[in-house]
Amino acid sequence: MATEELTLNIGPSHPSTHGVCRLVVRLDGEIVTHVEPVIGHLHRGIEKIAENRTYLQVVPLTDRLDYVGSMYANWAYCRAVERLAGIRVPERAEYIRVIVCELQRIASHMMGIGSSAADTGATSAFLYAFDQREKVIDLFEALCGARLTYNYVRPGGVAFELPDGWIEQCRAFIEQHPSAMLTIDEFFFGNAIARVRLKGIGVLDADTAVAWGVSGPAARGSGVDWDLRRDDPYSVYPRFDFDVPLGSNGDCFDRARIRLWECIESCRIIEQALDQIEPGPIMAEGLPRLLAPRPGDAYDHIESARGSLGVYVVSDGSPRPYRMKVRSPAFCNLAVLPEIAVGYTLSDLLVILGSLDPVFGEVDR
């Protein structure tokens, strides 16, 4: 029988593209024979705009990169600027950064797990995850007044001191969080339909993951044992005791489920940080109003919820960055999609996309 391939444009506005991504898909029946992500619908030229802003004015721009994990972009940028300008960050500020970023990891992973659930049609599991995310967002709102774009981590420290009672609220959250994760594990990952939908789908082997620069949970799901918090320690991470969960099969199931264990590890880190944190200044002293680092360049990277997030900043001695470049984990992770999605069905394609958990603010920048 003569058959013809069907070309389907998924997106840029589609319930499952997690933002504005367009996928040009060729289908043979329901089988995907070719897939090409067309990116750039959310390109706002953030790296270019940064060249016309002072160093402090760039921080809110970084919020708009990975808008479900703004704290990371804030922090990665600030670390690069601090390295460039030689600023020493007070210890309390480092602890606060670790705490908010681990909370951010939880909030972001709730989005990742939730979208894996929603892509397979489990809308209730999605809302269970979002219930937890909501609690983290409430903590951030108490901290800095914003629920999505925080502008909280600033070059030299953090913007605000922890409000009264915040530490107790945070402890209450991390106490209930692991059991909520186990509930989701049982409710969604334990479900027979979810298992057949996720297991063995979109298999990414470790070598391909490394070759394509995949990082974060997407790579660790394939057994790539790489986590910057442990392997290139920064800030106060060496003081904490935590494990890096690893998957073995590199399928959607491992990629999605590993996020669940990472959240539980994040709770361990936050708990230790809350125990160790001591009073002190939260902003480096003697900072000029207008930062103008000496000419030079600096690169720094941190482990964001999506992988290795790096920021490269070049200074020409003026109060504005000469060039800023973001190494975006979401971009690199998305690039591997055509490698792993061909041969699966249309239903699987969107599950695979969701398991890579791209955020298009960061892909397109």
What six digits make up the tokens of 337? Answer: 């999609």
Of the pair 183, 276, the CB lying nearest other proteins is at 183
The C-alpha atoms of residue 82 and residue 327 are separated, in whole angstroms, by: 18
The C-alpha atoms of residue 363 and residue 21 are separated, in whole angstroms, by: 9
DSSP string for 217-275: HHHHTTT----HHHHS--TTGGGS-------SS-SHHHHHHHHHHHHHHHHHHHHHHHH
The C-alpha atoms of residue 350 and residue 307 are separated, in whole angstroms, by: 20
CB 157 within 8 A of CB 82: no
Of the pair 119, 251, the CB lying nearest other proteins is at 119
Of the pair 192, 289, the CB lying nearest other proteins is at 192
CB 59 within 8 A of CB 154: yes
The least distance separating other proteins from the CB of residue 220, rounded to whole angstroms, comes to 23
Burial classification of residue 113, based on how many CB atoms lie within 10 Å of its CB (0-12 exposed, 13-18 middle, 19 or more buried): buried
What six digits make up the tokens of 102? Answer: 């681990």
Which residue in 35, 194, 206, 326 binds other proteins (CB under 8 A)? 194
Mark the segment that binds other proteins (CB under 8 A) among 10-18, 96-104, 138-146, 327-335: 10-18
Q: Which one-letter DSSP state was computed for residue 310?
A: E
- Does 8 bind other proteins (CB under 8 A)? Our answer is yes
What six digits make up the tokens of 284? Answer: 């480096």
The least distance separating other proteins from the CB of residue 168, rounded to whole angstroms, comes to 24
The least distance separating other proteins from the CB of residue 327, rounded to whole angstroms, comes to 30
The C-alpha atoms of residue 111 and residue 259 are separated, in whole angstroms, by: 10
Which residue in 267, 273, 350, 356 binds other proteins (CB under 8 A)? 350
Of the pair 92, 257, the CB lying nearest other proteins is at 257
- Does 346 bind other proteins (CB under 8 A)? Our answer is yes
- Does 119 bind other proteins (CB under 8 A)? Our answer is yes
Which residue in 149, 169, 191, 249 binds other proteins (CB under 8 A)? 191
The C-alpha atoms of residue 146 and residue 290 are separated, in whole angstroms, by: 25
Which residue in 120, 215, 315, 328 binds other proteins (CB under 8 A)? 120
Residue 253, amino acid: F
- Does 347 bind other proteins (CB under 8 A)? Our answer is yes
3-state secondary structure of 162: coil
Exposure b/e, 16-37, CB count within 10 A at least 16 = b: bbbbbbbbebebeeeebeebeb
3-state secondary structure of 347: helix
User: Which regions of the chain does DSSP assign to beta strands (E)?
Assistant: 6-10, 22-28, 31-38, 153-154, 157-158, 296-303, 308-315, 321-327
Q: Which one-letter DSSP state was computed for residue 42?
A: T
Site string for other proteins, 297-336 (x = CB under 8 A): ----------------------------------------
Site string for other proteins, 28-47 (x = CB under 8 A): --x-----------------
Residue 88, amino acid: R
Mark the segment that binds other proteins (CB under 8 A) among 5-13, 210-218, 298-306, 314-322: 5-13
User: What residues are paired with 303 via a beta bridge?
Assistant: 308
Of the pair 106, 314, the CB lying nearest other proteins is at 106
Q: Which one-letter DSSP state was computed for residue 151?
A: -
Mark the segment that binds other proteins (CB under 8 A) among 43-51, 67-75, 124-132, 233-241: 124-132
Which residue in 77, 188, 312, 331 binds other proteins (CB under 8 A)? 188
Which residue in 33, 124, 176, 248 binds other proteins (CB under 8 A)? 124
Which residue in 61, 118, 311, 326 binds other proteins (CB under 8 A)? 118
Which residue in 5, 131, 138, 231 binds other proteins (CB under 8 A)? 131
Mark the segment that binds other proteins (CB under 8 A) among 11-19, 36-44, 92-100, 250-258: 11-19
- Does 128 bind other proteins (CB under 8 A)? Our answer is yes
- The residues that touch other proteins, with contacts defined as CB under 8 A, are 6, 8-9, 14-16, 30, 117-125, 127-128, 131, 188, 191, 193-194, 196-197, 345-348, 350
